[in-house]
Structure 1
Amino acid sequence: MNKKLITAFYLILNIFFSIVIVLLNKWLYVHIGFPNITLSMIHFVITFIGLIICEKFDVFCIKDIAIKEMFFIAMAFCGFVVLTNLSLAHNTVGTYQVAKMLTTPCVIIMQMIVYNKHFSILVKLTLIPIILGVVINFYYDIQFNIIGTVYATMGVLVTSLYQVMVNIKQKEFQMDPMQLLYYQAPLSAVMLFFIVPFLEPIEQTFARSWSLIDIAMVILSGIVAFFVNLTSYWIIGKTSPLTYNMVGHSKFCLLLLGGSLIFHETLAINQVIGITLTLVGIILYAHVKMKDTQMVVSDCEDKERKPLHKV
């Protein structure tokens, strides 16, 4: 099959699965009231089973690493999945999606403070419309609630920490995202297994008579979550960062539309302004980062072309 057609196919799949997982999880919270942390644990178990199957088909190879090296990143993985799901459960789909955009400036600020990493003035300027847009959207959200805002804020912080940790672990152990996920998923599932009895009504969960449709939707949610990861890693590995960013923008817009149509979420005009500002900021950030990367690559190539001078 043509390489461009394969790439297009994976891009479409990623957009489809990414939209379905958010809308499906929201449906489970709204119509079934399925426990959040329990759902996250099921996702981790299904993801691990999916990874075992992928490894058998040589999609990736397992890299031996001490379990203790994965403990803290698994904790961060738990936190980011659970908190973002709690944000989705307590906020509108639109507000949930806009809040996630704060991860970009948060990661940059963390890298500047903790690792003393430097970013260009243009990169820093693109963060202004992103942050301003998110604040406007939250302020004018007609379903605004303090708990939802707290979960969204904590989700952004833990997600940003997780992304920084993944970047460090990948470089430290020369592992790709799927190799990392192979260790994270089961560890995170075990952690949540011990946490669930203290935070969720486990007796009510088992006592309730779940219909076959309810159970099927929960399992489907876990399978879709796995395919989101699988297609995302393929796109990151096989295409450019710009392509991946553009896919992200498409998902952003389609999820807002999906939330409006399926859950009848209305957007105030001020929210539309906030969402537009956030989207513009993200697009500008992607554009500036691509330019910076191209300049670095160009400088390296120029240095390689220069002949060595004999003394």
Structure 2
Amino acid sequence: MGVWDSILRGGGGGGGRRFIKRKDSDAGEAGRALEELRGSLYNEFHTSEGAKRQQQRFCGPSVALTFNFFVAVGIIMANKMVMGAVGFNFPVALSLIHYIAAWVLMAVLKAFYLLPIAPPSKSTPFSSLFALGAVMSFSTGLANISLKHNSVGFYQMAKIAVTPTIVAAEFILFKKKVSLRKVITLAVVSCGVAVATVTDLEFNLFGACVAVAWIIPSAVNKILWSNLQQSGNWTALALMWKTTPITVFFFLVLMPLLDPPGLLSFNWNIQNSSAIMISALFGFLLQWSGALALGATSALAHVVLGQFKTIVIMLSSYLVFNSDPGFTSLCGAIIALGGMSVYTYLGLKESASGGKRAPSTSRQNSHLLKSKVIVDGEKPETRPIDSV
């Protein structure tokens, strides 16, 4: 007892009280740190800004483009199986199934709170989302009609025409300019792809009109996807969740007009339905990877990637399956690949020069922010942090 009395009396008692206070203080600091960590994690995963940061962190341009490339090759094989072996000759209905499957998968993600949060409705008007959903459906539908009524060569020429259309549209809509070196490189790429892939140019007036009508929606579709993600806090999945119902609605309108009759009489057995579901899964991955690529790069880069896929598929058929595209087509493919390499180099060079200028700009903004804090008479640590 004497020991305890000596501890609790005089300076010992005050020390004990101070010891208890320190323990309470440490517990309070730990609680505040835990609360701050919880708030930061919530902001990272349950706000549109945090979801956008996570997408940019884990899915950069190289990852997004590679993902889109492999998925595009996979869906070509899946659709060949559906259209050929299964005999499902309803392209618009197949696209509708793809988008419905994507909608269901995103609904499951949303039910488990795994779907990224969309920005506030005031940040993006509904007219922009409606236009994107409508343009997407018309782009896909007109592409299917163009492929049905045109030769492969004429269809490929229409795809090449999307590149200059994007350059012109971005300049008209956003005053976005492309450097002369990139314009020359894109021209070389387009010429190389044309020489490599255009073998027949059978002209059909109706098919030509459809092909020309498809060019503008295809270009606008890519521009809107890229612009909405880069100018706002939209992630690929959040934007898909908002626009897919609109696209499904327009597909329901277009399907009776564009598809041949006989959809209900199709043999929906387990084997055929499984093949269509595999194609639908690849369709969802294609939409997602395409949106990621457009958000991480640009509409022009996505078009160049599409042309790269065409060249790689042609060269793979030549090297693996011993097909003979001809010496001229092989020369065009080599020219196109060279132009794509130069375009990629120019894009990386511009990104690097932009990154070098960023630190000085951020320091300047930091200095301005510090000046504002001093003028307002506040300390940076005491400025409130918005939380949702």
Give TM class, smaller chain: 0.7 to 0.9
Q: CA RMSD in A?
A: 4.1
TM-score norm. by structure 1 comes to 0.75
Task: State the Cα distance separating 1:267 from its structure 2 match.
Answer: 1.5
1:63–1:175 Cα contact (<8 Å) kept: yes
Report the CA distance between 1:236 and its aligned residue.
7.4
Q: Distance in 2 between matches of 1:160 and 1:236?
A: 12
What CA deviation, in whole Å up to 9, does each residue of 1:134-166 have, x standing for no partner? 332454x15x54467766655443221112122
Sequence identity percentage: 19
Which residue does 1:167 correspond to in 2? 226
Q: Which of 245, 262, 280 is the equivalent residue of 1:186?
A: 245
**Residue 201 (1) aligns with residue 257 (2):** no
Q: CA deviation at 1:194?
A: 1.8
1:274 aligns with 2:328: no
In the TM superposition, what are the counterparts of 1:196-235 in structure 2 within 5 Å?
Answer: 196-202=255-261, 204-231=262-289
Report the secondary structure of 2:178's partner residue: coil
Q: Aligned partners of 2:333 and 2:154: how far apart in 1?
A: 9
Distance in 1 between the 2:311 and 2:195 partners? 17
Q: Using a 3 Å threshold, how does the CA distance of structure 1 residues 181 and 263 change in structure 2: closer, same or farther?
A: farther
Asked whether the 8 Å contact 2:119–2:234 carries over to 1, the reply is yes
* Stretch deviating more after TM superposition (289-298 or 7-16): 7-16
Q: How many matched pairs?
A: 298
Q: Does 1:290 align with 2:348?
A: yes
| Residue in structure 2 matched with residue 29 of structure 1 by the alignment | 83
Distance in 1 separating the partners of 2:173 and 2:120 = 29
Shift of 1:77: 0.8
SS of the equivalent of 2:325 reads: coil
Report the counterpart of residue 3 of structure 2 in structure 1. Answer: none
Structure 1 residue 50 and structure 2 residue 105: aligned?
yes
Matched, 1:17 2:76: no
TM-score by length of 2: 0.62
- Match for residue 3 of structure 1? none
- C-alpha displacement of 1:115: 3.1
The amino acid that maps onto 1:126 is: T
Which consecutive unaligned segments of at least 5 residues does structure 1 have? 1-5
Deviation at 1:30, TM superposition (A): 4.1
In 2, Cα distance between equivalents of 1:250 and 1:136: 14
Instruction: Tell me whether 1:256 sits opposite 2:314 in the alignment.
Output: yes
Deviation larger for 220-229 or 59-68: 59-68
Shift in CA distance, 227/303, structure 1 to aligned 2, threshold 3 Å = closer
Larger radius of gyration: 2
- Does the C-alpha gap of structure 1 residues 271 and 68 become closer, same or farther in structure 2, counting only changes over 3 Å? same
Task: Give a deviation string over 1:187-226, Cα, whole Å, max 9, x none.
Answer: 1111111221122233x22123344333222221111111
Highest relative contact order (Cα 8 Å, sep 6+), 1 or 2? Answer: 1
**Structure 2: runs of 5 or more not aligned:** 1-58, 368-388
**Which deviates more from structure 2 when the two are superposed, residues 261-270 or residues 286-295?**
261-270
Deviates more, 1:69-78 or 1:204-213: 204-213
Corresponding residue number in structure 2 for 1:300:
358
User: After alignment, is 210-219 or 120-129 more displaced?
Assistant: 210-219
In structure 2, relative to structure 1, the CA distance for the partners of 1:247 and 1:37 (3 Å cut) is: closer
Equivalences for 1:113-192 in 2 at 5 Å? 113-139=172-198, 141=199, 144-146=201-203, 154-170=213-229, 173-192=232-251
Residue 61 in structure 1 maps to residue 117 in structure 2: yes
- Secondary structure of the structure 1 residue equivalent to 2:89: coil
Distance in 1, matches of 2:135 and 2:282, equals 21
Deviation at 1:68, TM superposition (A): 4.1
Structure 1 counterpart of 2:52: none
Q: Does 1:77 align with 2:131?
A: no
The letter for the 2-side match of 1:194 is V
